[in-house]
Amino acid sequence: MSESSPPTTTTLTLTPDDVLNATLCDGEGTALYFVSTTPSLYTTTTQVTRSNGELLATVEWRDMLPNRLRLGKKPPTTLNNWLQTALVPFASKGNASFKDDSGRKYKWQGAAYANTLELFTKDDGYEEPIATFTKSRKNIGRDLPAEPARLALTARAVEIQDIVVLSFLFLERLRRGQARTRQSTADALSKQPIVAITSGHGYGAGGG
């Protein structure tokens, strides 16, 4: 971020650092959004509500079918139809893009293993981030105390705060799911036995 980047006007904390079950609070500790997730046999359903109980979005996470999204009272659609992810999952640029109700374009960017995720707008050619998510940090000493996960918003992001929050939650869930899959694959490969390859035709010492 350059020195001329727009200043942060609102910071939301995510407690706990779990995009499937969490409370998002403002700087004064007032709860603004609630995220709750209910697993079932075939789907896992996540709902995001305002503090007054208004339902903002529902996502059905499905293994065999596209994830299904419903924003408020709008007709359901696929999540990828609204939050369009890159063909190469979570590449260093262009993780996901979406439009607001006025047709303005936005793009989330962040490397797969990065601790931050940034939102850009086409207004300035995707030059300066208007929102930045930073993962939580555990207490690792006096000079580096624990910090909660936080989503920092500029005034431009506050204009579309609900959509920023929703797109962040859903994209971060996908990112973390991909990270877990990669880690599980790496763990499985590391546990595979190393098989020594030896000749079975007697060509070694004492062979004919």
Instruction: State pLDDT tens for residues 137-188.
Output: 876 777 776 789 999 999 999 999 999 999 999 999 988 866 454 444 444 4
Does residue 73 belong to any structural domain of this protein? yes
pLDDT of residue 113: 60
Structural domain count of the chain: 1
Residue 60 lies in a domain: yes
The confidence score (pLDDT) of residue 87 equals 54
Please state, in angstroms and rounded to a whole number, the distance separating the CA atoms of residues 136 and 138: 7
Domain that holds residue 110: 8-189
pLDDT at 206: 44
C-alpha to C-alpha distance for 132 and 130, rounded to whole angstroms: 7
Does residue 136 surpass a pLDDT of 80? yes
* Whether residue 27 has pLDDT greater than 50: yes
Say if 36 falls within a structural domain: yes
Q: Cα separation of 68 and 21, whole Å?
A: 18
If we measure between CA atoms, which residue out of 26, 85, 37, 89 comes closest to residue 61? 37
For residue 114, the domain's CATH number is: 2.40.160
Average pLDDT over residues 98-109: 96
Judge contact between 23 and 30, C-beta under 8 A. no
Higher pLDDT, 204 or 123: 123
Q: 67 or 42: which carries more pLDDT confidence?
A: 67
Residue 198 pLDDT > 70 = no
Is 176 or 130 the better-scoring residue by pLDDT? 130
